[in-house]
Amino acid sequence: MLSRLKRRVEEGVAPLALALARRGVTPNLLTLVGLGVGLLSASLFALGEPLWGGLLLLVCGFFDLLDGAVARRGGGETAFGGVLDSVVDRYVDFLVLLAIVWGGLAEAFGISGLVWGGAAMLGSFMVSYVRARGEAAGTGRMEVGVAERGERLLLLGLGSLLGFTNYAVVLVAILSHLTVLQRMAVARGRLATRRASPPAP
C-alpha cells in the first residue's frame, strides 16, 4: 500500500541520496548502518523500552528507504546489493519481533506474546516468500498487499511510540497473513495461463 508513497518520499530525499553517492557512500554501507540501527532497536525492545525501540525502528526504516534511493539515484544498483538488502531486512524483522516478545511487550487479549509474536514472524516471512516465489515464477513485481514491510515497520514503530506495542504486533500478525492471501490471489491470476515452474529445493 505504501509503495507509491515510498516512491514519492524517495523523490523527496533524492538530493540527499545524490549528495551521499557523490561522497562515496555506497548503498551497501547504508544497508549495514540500517542493520546496526535495527539491532539497537531490538536491544531496546528486549530491555522493555518500547518508546526508544520504536523510534529507532522508524530510523531503521528510513535507512532502508535511503539505501535504495542512493542505489538508484547514484547508479550504484547491483544484484548483490538487492540480495544483501533483503537478507538484512529479514534479520531485522525477526530480531525486532523476537525482542518484543522477549521484553514481554506482545501479550494481548489474554493471549501469550509468544503466540502473537510467532504469528507476526511467520506472516512477515511468508509475505516476502510469496513475493519472491511468485516473481521467480513470472508474476512480475508483486508490490501488493495491506501489510508490506513499510506498513509493518510503521505499525510497530508508531504503535510503540504511542504505547501500544502489543496491539501493533497483533495487527502485524493479522494483516501480514491477509497480505499473503492477497499475494497468492494475485499470483494465481497472473500465472493462470503459464506453465508451473518446478518447486524450489
Q: How far is residue 174 CA from its own chain's centroid?
A: 15
* Residue 14: half-sphere exposure toward Cβ, Cα within 13 Å: 8
Residue whose entry in the numeric block shows the C-alpha cell 504511542: 162
Residue whose entry in the numeric block shows the C-alpha cell 490471489: 185
Q: What does the buried/exposed string (b/e) look like for 21-52 if buried means 16 or more CB atoms within 10 Å of the residue's CB?
A: beeebbbbebbebbbebbbbbbbbbbeebbeb
Go through the chain and tell me how many residues it has.
201
* pLDDT higher at 124 or 199: 124
Contact between residue 200 and residue 142 where contact means Cβ atoms under 8 Å apart:
no
Q: What does the buried/exposed string (b/e) look like for 156-191 if buried means 16 or more CB atoms within 10 Å of the residue's CB?
A: bbebbbeebbbbbbbbbbbbbbebbebbeebbeeee
Contact between residue 69 and residue 14 where contact means Cβ atoms under 8 Å apart:
yes
Per-residue pLDDT at 88: 95
Q: What is the mean pLDDT of residues 151-172?
A: 96
- Ranges of H-type helices in 47-78: 50-73
Which residues carry out catalysis? Answer: 89
Per-residue pLDDT reduced to its tens digit, 73-97? 777 778 898 899 999 999 999 999 9
Contact between residue 21 and residue 76 where contact means Cβ atoms under 8 Å apart:
yes
Contact between residue 84 and residue 31 where contact means Cβ atoms under 8 Å apart:
yes
State yes or no: pLDDT of 60 exceeds 90. yes
Which helix (H) or strand (E) is 25 found in, with range?
Answer: none
Q: What is the mean pLDDT of residues 7-16?
A: 74
Per-residue pLDDT reduced to its tens digit, 112-150? 999 999 999 999 999 999 999 999 999 998 888 888 888
What residue ranges define each of the domains in the chain, with the CATH number in brackets?
3-190 (1.20.120.1760)
Which of 3-12, 49-58, 89-98, 122-131 shows the lowest mean pLDDT across its residues?
Answer: 3-12
